[in-house]
Amino acid sequence: MPRLPAQVYLLGLVSFFMDIASEMVYPLLPLFLTTVLGAQMGVVGLVEGVAEASASLFKVAGGRISDRIGARKPLLLLGYGLPVFFRPILALAAAPWHVLIYRFLDRIGKGLRTAPRDALVAEVATNENFGRAYGVHRTMDSLGATLGPFLAFLLLPVVGFTGVFWLSAIPALMAVATIGFWIKEKPGKPVPLTPFRLEGFSPEYKRFLLVSALFTLGLSSNAFLLLRLKEFGYSDAQTALVYTGYNLLYALASYPLGSLADRIGPRTLVAWGFGAYGAVYLGFAFASRAWQAALLMFLYAGYSAAFEGSSRAYLAKVIPATQKASAIGLYHTLVGLLLFPASAFFGYLWQHYGSTAAFSLGAGLSFAALILFWALEFRKATAGSVL
């Protein structure tokens, strides 16, 4: 089995540092909003929905700009640098709308960097090891996401919410430094891009957009999973610790599941991911014990590891090389834009009808997406498929 290029590991290191920074903050935000700033569930849904939508608006823009200039690194520097610059807004927040502004600006950076980064991984890897390449990247990303909430768990009793928010800027700066000094890319040729039309993409890509749209309507921010843990009596620090366990399992499972995607095909793992998400959300809807909620968080890590890497590998196989970043950006934009109404409605359902109703809806839509995916993708003979 050929070795992966060093750039895959360096890009993974960038994500490792940035996820430490992000995940020191992320599991604390819903707790900070509800317990310190007094926000209700509907407000949490609005904040998370706006955050994801703002990221998505810039994901397709980041991909298009990257393809247009023939370069990935400038967008990476900008996308990873913005969250560092905007950290003080969060650290000094005194009202829910301050957190909303921070999440909006922070996610712009996320949007600008996602498609160019994924495209760069695809460009330095080969068709035979896309799954391993994205699996390595997701593993390093998830290791950072494991360390981040664990640091928050340790630091929160000592420095409080504000102190954790300030300290999270340090690993973010390290991510930017790694890009500046060590990330290399072959000079690309700037090319004028044709109008962005779906007609130019493969039927597999367009079908996957349709299924993803249905699935995303049932998604919700992980913030609601953390608030569900709070319903069972977990403290702020304990919630961060459970989230650490989730990210650790996610990290450990990402590479082997990425390799599995190369052997059995990413399409199969994507289907498993839809089913696993529905099962976990159904469990969250009807769980009655604290240990059950923690166990479901760990099972959710299996979904995340199976779906995140395999969906990227699937996309890499069904989109043209000349518009790789644009196509990835469009996918992320569609998903993120739909996360706004999905998260907002999830928060509304929880606030007015309880968590069981909200999680049940998410489970039902994910199972519907699985059925549609099988109907569209698995009804054909395997000959000529992307497995």
Domain boundaries along the sequence of the chain: 6-183+198-377
Question: Residue 201: CA atoms inside 13 Å, Cβ hemisphere, count?
Answer: 23
Q: What is the CATH number of domain 6-183+198-377?
A: 1.20.1250.20
Q: What is the mean pLDDT of residues 93-121?
A: 90
Query: What is the distance of C-alpha 9 from the center of its chain?
Result: 19
Query: What is the distance of C-alpha 350 from the center of its chain?
Result: 23
* Residue 111 pLDDT: 84
Q: Which residues contact 383 (CB under 8 A, 6 or more apart)?
A: none
* Residue 200 pLDDT: 64
CA atoms of 161 and 115, how far apart (whole Å): 31
Q: What is the mean pLDDT of residues 48-59?
A: 79
* Residue 125 pLDDT: 76
Q: What is the pLDDT of residues 208-242, one digit of tens each?
A: 889 989 999 988 888 899 999 999 999 988 998 99
3-state secondary structure of 110: helix
3-state secondary structure of 288: coil
Q: Please, are residues 97 and 204 in contact by the beta-carbon 8 Å criterion? A: no
The whole-chain average pLDDT of the chain stands at 85
Q: Please, are residues 206 and 324 in contact by the beta-carbon 8 Å criterion? A: no
Q: What is the mean pLDDT of residues 282-308?
A: 90
CA atoms of 234 and 302, how far apart (whole Å): 22
> What are the helix (H) ranges across the chain?
6-25, 29-31, 41-69, 73-85, 87-91, 96-124, 130-167, 169-182, 203-216, 222-231, 236-264, 266-286, 290-318, 324-353, 355-377
What is the Cα gyration radius of the chain? 20
What is the CB neighbour count within 10 angstroms for residue 174? 17
Question: Residue 76: CA atoms inside 13 Å, Cβ hemisphere, count?
Answer: 27
Among the residue ranges 31-35, 93-97, 106-110, 335-339, the one predicted with the least confidence is: 335-339
CA atoms of 348 and 355, how far apart (whole Å): 10
Query: What is the distance of C-alpha 341 from the center of its chain?
Result: 17
* Residue 385 pLDDT: 46
Q: What is the pLDDT of residues 358-373, one digit of tens each?
A: 999 999 999 999 999 8
Helix axes 290-318, 203-216, angle to 10 degrees: 160
What tokens appear for 52 in the block?
Answer: 């994801």
Q: Which of 282, 303, 302 lies closest to 292, judged by CA? A: 282
pTM: 0.74
Confidence bin at 2 (pLDDT 50/70/90): low
